């Protein structure tokens, strides 16, 4: 749910002033929400960490700074924020320890990160070995993944984790495997990294609720795990696959992101395709068992899939979202579900978007973070936790 590649470079942090929320708003006819639903923002952007990468999945968010410091916020019942406690946090909170990370990934109730020396650490709820340390003991601070492998990237899902090795880009997964989402040809849970069958070299790997997808270095897409809603995209109806299965349609893909029951990807020609159920973006509500083009003839650099919504950064600098919107997770100023893409309000140019279960976050070219949607556990990072609908991007506040 949180693809990593950034195709636009972050600009130098010369000045991070407030007030950007008021700029560039566009009225697309959506019914505005009550102003009471949007809290006042009293903290300037400069007070928040300057993030270079963000990740969301369930009800928490994590990010890293250019200096390699990791921060998390939101729900913390399983220790997924990594600060040594089980206390929910409403603003970015440093992950414990002095590790320097180059990438971080938020899962359902655990998180993982790759350090600057290519080691993977995980923390949080350790159901069936999702932390990869050879045990099922949960950890409230980062614990090293066993096996001695060096990793390029890591992705945390709902109780399992996958990573790509460095430099070979081979895929390894560990944790829950009830639908074959580890891709090793079994449904046996693994407490330490197990090689994904096939030995392919992958450019990117992504985890949904019960399935895994990846794009090879030759731009071929494969998915495995649960196919109960067509999210594997291979044309088979509701048939799980325990090893990688080629996505149908003959498309080449440069980027891919798995949602709860759908998957979206971008072609070398910047066209977005989705498949599965929910947030397909083709104007229909039907399950799609093979890739379908997202409506609107938009050109996308990246896409991200969440619980029932998806978003993308267009080549023009605007951001678009589609799908479920009951808590404002599309960021269009409404709580109306959209079957085709709508513009995210605020006029921000996001270099990375990441869709969680019921919220969305993004970082701008100036490394400023914004979030919108559900804030029940403080996952928006705005200093409060509430049941309000936050339907426009809100500035992430300073660290605790």
* pLDDT tens by residue, 290-300: 999 999 999 99
User: Is 207 in contact with 160 (CB distance < 8 Å)?
Assistant: yes
Which residue range is the domain that position 187 belongs to? Answer: 50-395
DSSP H or E run through 72 = strand 70-74
Please state, as a whole number, how many other Cβ atoms lie within 10 Å of the Cβ of residue 339: 15
| Mean pLDDT to the nearest integer, 246-257 | 97
What's the confidence (pLDDT) of residue 4?
Answer: 57
Q: Is residue 5 part of a domain?
A: no
Q: Indicate whether 73 belongs to any domain.
A: yes
Is position 26 within any domain? Answer: no
Q: Which residue has the higher pLDDT, 1 or 248?
A: 248
Across 351-377, average pLDDT: 97
- The mean pLDDT of 262-279, rounded to a whole number, is 97
397 and 358 in contact (C-beta within 8 Å)? Answer: no
User: What pLDDT does residue 47 have?
Assistant: 62
41 exposure class (CB count in 10 Å sphere: 0-12, 13-18, 19+): middle
The pLDDT of residue 8: 54
pLDDT at 9: 53
Question: Has residue 95 been placed in a domain?
Answer: yes
Average pLDDT, the chain: 90
In degrees, rounded to 5, the angle at the alpha carbon of residue 377 between the alpha carbons of residues 375 and 378 is 60
Is residue 171 in a domain? yes
- Assigned domain for 169 exists: yes
**For the whole prediction, is pTM greater than 0.95?**
no
In this predicted structure, the answer to whether residue 338 has a pLDDT above a threshold of 60 is: yes
pLDDT of 174 strictly over 80 = yes
The whole-number pLDDT of residue 304 equals 98
Q: What contacts 128, CB < 8 A, 6 or more positions away? A: 136, 159, 160, 175, 176, 177, 189, 191
Give the lowest-confidence range in 12-21, 39-48, 339-348.
12-21
108-119: per-residue pLDDT in tens? 999 999 999 999
Percent of the chain with pLDDT over 90: 86
312: which 2 tokens? 């993308």
Note the pLDDT of residue 48: 77
Number of domains forming the structure of the chain? 1
**39 or 140, which is more confident?**
140
292 sits in which H/E element: strand 288-293
Q: Report the C-alpha gap between 129 and 176 in whole angstroms.
A: 7
Task: Give the separation between CA 328 and CA 121, rounded to whole angstroms.
Answer: 33
Average pLDDT over residues 267-278: 97
Structure token pair of residue 170: 């081979």
Answer yes or no: is 10 within a domain: no
Position 309 in a domain: yes
Q: Is residue 36 over pLDDT 50?
A: no
More reliable by pLDDT, 236 or 253: 253
Residue 13: the pLDDT is 32
Please give the residue that has the higher pLDDT: either 209 or 30: 209
pLDDT score of 241 more than 90:
yes
pLDDT at residue 38 in the model: 39
Q: Give the separation between CA 363 and CA 55, rounded to whole angstroms.
A: 10
For residue 288, the domain's CATH number is: 2.130.10.30
């Amino acid at each position: 749910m949180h693809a990593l590649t950034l195709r636009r470079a972050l600009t130098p942090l010369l000045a991070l002033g407030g007030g950007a929320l008021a700029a560039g708003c566009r009225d697309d006819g959506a019914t505005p929400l009550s102003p009471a639903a949007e809290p006042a923002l009293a903290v300037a952007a400069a007070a928040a960490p300057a993030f270079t990468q963000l990740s969301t999945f369930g009800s928490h968010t994590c990010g890293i700074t250019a200096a390699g410091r990791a921060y998390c916020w939101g729900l913390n019942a399983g220790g997924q924020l990594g600060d040594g406690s089980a206390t929910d946090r409403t603003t970015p909170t440093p992950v414990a320890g002095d590790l320097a990370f180059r990438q971080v990934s938020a899962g359902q109730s655990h998180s993982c990160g790759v350090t600057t020396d290519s080691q993977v650490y995980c923390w949080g709820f350790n159901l069936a070995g999702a932390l990869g340390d050879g045990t099922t003991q949960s950890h409230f601070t980062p614990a090293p993944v066993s096996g001695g492998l060096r990793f390029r990237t890591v992705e945390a899902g709902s109780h399992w984790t996958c990573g790509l090795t460095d430099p070979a880009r081979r895929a390894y997964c560990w944790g829950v495997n009830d639908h074959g989402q580890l891709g090793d040809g079994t449904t046996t849970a693994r407490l330490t990294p197990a090689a994904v069958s096939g030995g392919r070299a992958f450019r990117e790997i992504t985890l949904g609720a019960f399935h895994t997808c990846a794009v090879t270095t030759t731009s071929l897409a494969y998915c495995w795990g649960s196919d109960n809603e067509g999210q594997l995209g291979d044309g088979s109806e509701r048939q799980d696959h325990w090893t990688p299965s080629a996505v149908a349609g003959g498309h080449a893909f440069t980027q891919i992101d798995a949602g709860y029951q759908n998957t979206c990807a971008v072609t070398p020609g910047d066209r977005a395709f989705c498949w599965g159920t929910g947030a397909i973006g083709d104007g229909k509500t039907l399950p799609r068992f093979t890739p379908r083009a997202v409506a609107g003839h938009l050109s996308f650099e990246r896409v991200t899939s969440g619980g029932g919504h998806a978003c993308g950064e267009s080549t023009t600098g605007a951001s678009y979202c589609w799908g479920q919107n009951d808590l404002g997770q599309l960021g269009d100023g409404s709580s109306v579900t959209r079957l085709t893409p709508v513009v995210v309000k605020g006029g921000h140019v996001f270099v990375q978007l990441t869709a969680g279960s019921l919220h969305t976050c993004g970082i701008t070219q100036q490394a400023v973070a914004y979030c919108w949607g559900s804030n029940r556990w403080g996952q928006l990072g705005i200093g409060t936790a509430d049941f309000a609908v936050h339907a426009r991007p809100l500035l992430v506040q300073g660290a605790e």
